[in-house]
Amino acid sequence: MAVVLGIETSCDETGAALVRDGVLLGEALSSSMDRHARYGGVVPEIAARAHVEFLVPCVDRALAAAGLGSSAVDAVAVTAGPGLATALHTGVAAAKAYALALDVPLYGVHHLAGHIAADVVDAGPLPNPLVALIVSGGHTSLLLVRDLARDPIIHLGDTLDDAAGECFDKVARALGLPYPGGPALDRAAHGGDAGAVAFPRPLTGRADAPYTFSFSGLKTAVARWSERQASAAGVAAVPLRDVAASFQEAVADVLTAKALRACAEHGVGDLLVVGGVAANSRLRALAAQRCAAAGVRLRVPALRRCTDNGVMIAALGDLLVRAGVPSSPMDLSACPEVFL
Ligand code: KG4
Ligand code: ZN
């Protein structure tokens, strides 16, 4: 049984973890999130410099947590893409250095496949087949997975513009909420009336785009609505929590409707919801409700496995090693735009 070191540096989280045979041995995570806060979004150069600073200490902490020395590592897996170019290059360069120094195979892996693999360490093997809804700050994708380690992932649909998390972040900003906006908006919506404002459900009911998402129009709709409210003298203001709940409802409605349609049309009985936005309380509740009604089993990883971390990459690397998948060449380079 091989010990796989996983390294994740695609955005602002620096993650390292060790997984052996589906068991998490140790992990460590550092984030440059607070360094981006005043810019209202992740600044690639700041993220890359932080990875350089954090990565080796992170690997050391993960090894210490596992009670292992680096000589125990049998393979290194690293996010090769997609992600921020300079951030990815840092991780790939470090992973190559570890693989060369330790004389072990290197696996360049897909960040989204990592999100799907993340909770294997908590909840055991993934069902086959499954539909995966990946909703993060950078991605909104519906994927059909037959066997994560062995078969290519079938890409059902993506967003035409903003990712769901990006939409949360931008709407939160428009509503005056702090960065990162997703969790702040989720908290602000607590106890709000989701039916207070009828925000649009973009691209729903479209036979020509059943799995395609679009969130920039929704973001604009919230911004316009807020502006109108601000200038409408004498009109009773709608409380922030109702606006936040109404927006959150629109996003959760679109995401779950399309995900369940994908399950129905492909005869799949398992839905996995992952990525940072999977932390959203309304998305979780609505997905649970609609899955129960449709007889679909829902799997949503624990919150700490939903956002970027090293565990997801180590878990995926471990699946690849166990499936006997060939390792990557040592001239592997980061692929910021890599697509399924
Ligand atoms: O997966 P992730 O950590 O990083 C990317 O790969 O993008 O996702 C981060 C995104 C951010 O846009 C953040 O605002 C959003 O996930 N997010 C949430 C919540 N928690 C994090 N969005 C809505 N509700 C939440 N509770
Ligand atoms: Zn991610």
List pLDDT tens digits, range 19-39.
999 999 999 999 998 898 888
Ligand 1 neighbour 181 (Cβ under 6 A): yes
pTM greater than 0.80 (yes/no)? yes
Say yes or no to pLDDT of 340 above 60.
Answer: no
Ligand 1 neighbour 12 (Cβ under 6 A): no
130-136 mean pLDDT = 95
Question: How far apart are the CA of 96 and the centre of ligand 1, in A?
Answer: 29
Question: How far apart are the CA of 53 and the centre of ligand 1, in A?
Answer: 23
Give residue 236's pLDDT band: very low, low, confident or very high (50, 70, 90): low
Bridge partners (DSSP) of residue 133 are 142, 273
**What would the two tokens of residue 312 be?**
């997801």
Spell out which residues have Cβ within 5 A of ligand 2, the ion. 136, 308
Q: To test ligand 1's pocket by mutation, which of 284, 307, 309, 312 has the most ligand atoms within 8 angstroms of CB?
A: 307
227, with CB counted inside 10 A (0-12, 13-18, 19+), is exposed
Q: Detail the DSSP E strand segments found in the chain.
A: 3-8, 13-20, 23-31, 75-81, 106-110, 130-135, 140-145, 154-157, 270-274, 297-299
Known binding-site residue numbers for Fe cation: 111, 115, 308
109-122 mean pLDDT = 94
Bridge partners (DSSP) of residue 338 are none
**What would the two tokens of residue 317 be?**
């690397």
Question: How far apart are the CA of 153 and the centre of ligand 2, in A?
Answer: 17
Indicate the SS3 state at residue 116.
Answer: helix
| CB atoms near residue 45 (< 10 Å) | 10
Ligand 1 neighbour 301 (Cβ under 6 A): no
* Chain mean position to CA 309: 10
List the domains of the chain with CATH numbers: 3-118+309-322 (3.30.420.40), 126-302 (3.30.420.40)
Ligand 1 neighbour 137 (Cβ under 6 A): yes
pLDDT digits (tens, 9 = 90+) for 134-149: 998 888 999 999 999 9
Ligand found nearest the CA of 8: 2
Question: How far apart are the CA of 178 and the centre of ligand 2, in A?
Answer: 20
pLDDT at 228: 82
Question: How far apart are the CA of 43 and the centre of ligand 1, in A?
Answer: 16
* Residues 6 or more apart whose Cβ sits within 8 Å of residue 66: 3, 18, 25, 26, 72
